[in-house]
Amino acid sequence: MTGKERALAALRGESSDRPAVIPIVGQAAARLCGVGVREHAHDPELLARCQVQCARRFGYDGVYIAADTWINAEAIGFPRVEHPPHEPARGHGTWIESVDQIRELPMPDPNRSGRWPLMIDAVRHAVRMAGNDSLIIANFDQSPFSLACQLRGIDRFMLDLVDDPPFAHELLAYCARAIARYAVALGRAGAHVLNTGDSAAGGSLIGTRYYEEFAFPYERQVFDTIRREIDTPVTLHICGDAGMCLDRMVETGAAGIEVDHRMDLRDVRRRCGERVTVIGNVGPVGPLLRGTPEAVRAACRACLDAFAGSNRFILSTGCAISPLTPPENLRAMVEAAEDKTTR
């Protein structure tokens, strides 16, 4: 089987020759290919080439076409985003101040706004370069809740949830409409899978009540819009301890959910059953950054054992890996999956 075939089988709950392996490599691909992070994030053909080359070099099954977490905010018009040469983009300050400002915002255009057109081009390049070898996952970060935190400022938006819920819902509704347009455009560019992260919506910041009121409905709204327009599967990532929202993550209609390394995979399997494909969750710091290849293989075996007998699992990292991750540790993830089939 090819990597694309193997990964799609996992997302459908079908058997394959070995477990699929798709680490969240992201900006680490720039360093592994000897280019700067900013260059990688602004040159669509280079971004695609770095990601596809890394997949072929290490033997894993799919790639994430992603640059950084500020692409959506920048496309909407957030004015204070920096792009250091060798570090991820970062935004500063607050921007959205009133309901009137939200209502005056134009809806961003996937063909014109910010770096959205560059990322759509990167998907097209990656699909062409990978052929049938690798699954191409187009990342449309951030999901509505996390994007609202960026546009408003996370501290102020947390207060809005308590002090001014109507304002929060107004901003979230706008974010959901904007993000859905981008996601559909990525799917139409040829992505095999769409992926989004809602990092601020996990248990590290908000509890079940606030997730159900302010995050879940807008994640589902985006996914529903995608399903009406195209038939591309969607996966959802929430950082940290997502135990308080795990069931709702499944109910978004996601084909797969990415779980952070802080989550107990055996508990995740018990709660999810065969309803969704689980993607995860080797620690990106320990063991991938700081450990040995044998420590990585052991961690991978533990993940694979947690889903023994299930076709609904993709071996991945709990979050994006560090650019300083030893190359041999990436290869060790694939070796663990290959070894699993021979036992």
Report the alpha-carbon distance of residue 133 to residue 4 in Å, rounded. Answer: 6
Alpha helix (H) ranges present in the chain? Answer: 3-12, 28-32, 37-42, 44-58, 71-76, 99-104, 116-130, 144-152, 154-163, 165-188, 208-210, 216-229, 246-251, 265-272, 293-306, 327-342
Report the alpha-carbon distance of residue 315 to residue 280 in Å, rounded. Answer: 5
Q: Beta-carbon neighbour count of residue 237 at 10 Å?
A: 28
317 forms beta bridges with 282
Per residue in 288-320, pLDDT tens?
A: 999 999 999 999 999 999 999 999 999 999 999
List, in order, residues 6 or more apart from 238 with CB less than 8 Å away: 197, 198, 199, 201, 202, 245, 249, 257, 258, 260
For the chain, 343 residues long, give each residue's pLDDT as a single digit of tens: 999 999 999 999 999 999 999 999 999 999 999 999 999 999 999 999 999 999 999 999 999 999 999 999 999 999 999 999 999 999 999 999 999 999 999 999 999 999 999 999 999 999 999 999 999 999 999 999 999 999 999 999 999 999 999 999 999 999 999 999 999 999 999 999 999 999 999 988 999 999 999 999 999 999 999 999 999 999 999 999 999 999 999 999 999 999 999 999 999 999 999 999 999 999 999 999 999 999 999 999 999 999 999 999 999 999 999 999 999 999 999 999 999 664 5
The whole domain housing 127 covers 3-342
Report the alpha-carbon distance of residue 280 to residue 302 in Å, rounded. Answer: 11
Report the alpha-carbon distance of residue 260 to residue 172 in Å, rounded. Answer: 24
DSSP codes, 98-109: -HHHHHHPPPP-
- What are residue 256's phi and psi, to 5 degrees? -150, 150
pTM of the model: 0.97
The CATH number of residue 332's host domain is: 3.20.20.210
Per residue in 3-62, pLDDT tens?
A: 999 999 999 999 999 999 999 999 999 999 999 999 999 999 999 999 999 999 999 999
Half-sphere CA count of 272, side-chain side, radius 13 A: 36
Question: 43-46 contacts: CB < 8 A, separation 24 or more?
Answer: 43/118, 44/118, 44/119, 44/121, 44/122, 44/124, 44/125, 45/121, 45/122, 45/125
Report the alpha-carbon distance of residue 96 to residue 103 in Å, rounded. Answer: 11
Q: What is the DSSP letter of 314?
A: E
Say how many domains are in the chain: 1
Report the alpha-carbon distance of residue 37 to residue 336 in Å, rounded. Answer: 29
